[in-house]
Amino acid sequence: MEKTIKLNYKFIPSHEIQSFVRIKIKKVLGEIPNDITHLQNDDFLPYSGFFEKNNCSYFVVGELYSSGRRLTVPQMTKYVKTNTCTWDKALTFPMKYRDCPQDTEFLFTVYGIYSPSHIFVVGGTRISLYSSKSKMRSGGYHLRMYLHKKG
């Protein structure tokens, strides 16, 4: 006698999802370069210890945008003090999936800190919340980070 497995699928439109928008920031693959050509005019830089190995802290700021306008307040990860940045943290935005327009994008910017009052942009990237077929994205993605540019 052959067993039959019956799978029940339920498709939920995004306007019925009641949970807040969450995205997990895993890590930066590769080594973050110590390219400081864009910081050469900073008088504090020679005294910052930035040139010493693993002496710079990094954090990620995530934002939700739609039609060129920010939808929520930016969310931030914890600080990581190493050249191999691993956060492994989920950012939760104060907006529900049902309230997000079809052209919503996640913008991520990695910042470096080389003193208590000096930060700089390491790089940034972006990804849309919905695919080109208007389906909500899920799963893991490798995103290219553009150096010295915000997300």
Burial class (CB in 10 A: 0-12, 13-18, 19+), 76: middle
For residue 135, give both structure tokens. Answer: 């389906």
Among left, alpha and beta (phi > 0; psi -120 to 50; other), residue 11 is: beta
Q: pLDDT tens digits, residue range 45-72?
A: 655 555 555 557 888 999 999 999 999 9
Cβ neighbours of residue 63 closer than 8 Å, sequence gap 6 or more: 70, 72, 74, 75, 106, 107, 108, 109, 151
| pLDDT tens digits, 85-108 | 788 889 999 999 888 898 999 999
Domains of the chain (ranges; CATH) run 25-147 (2.60.40.150)
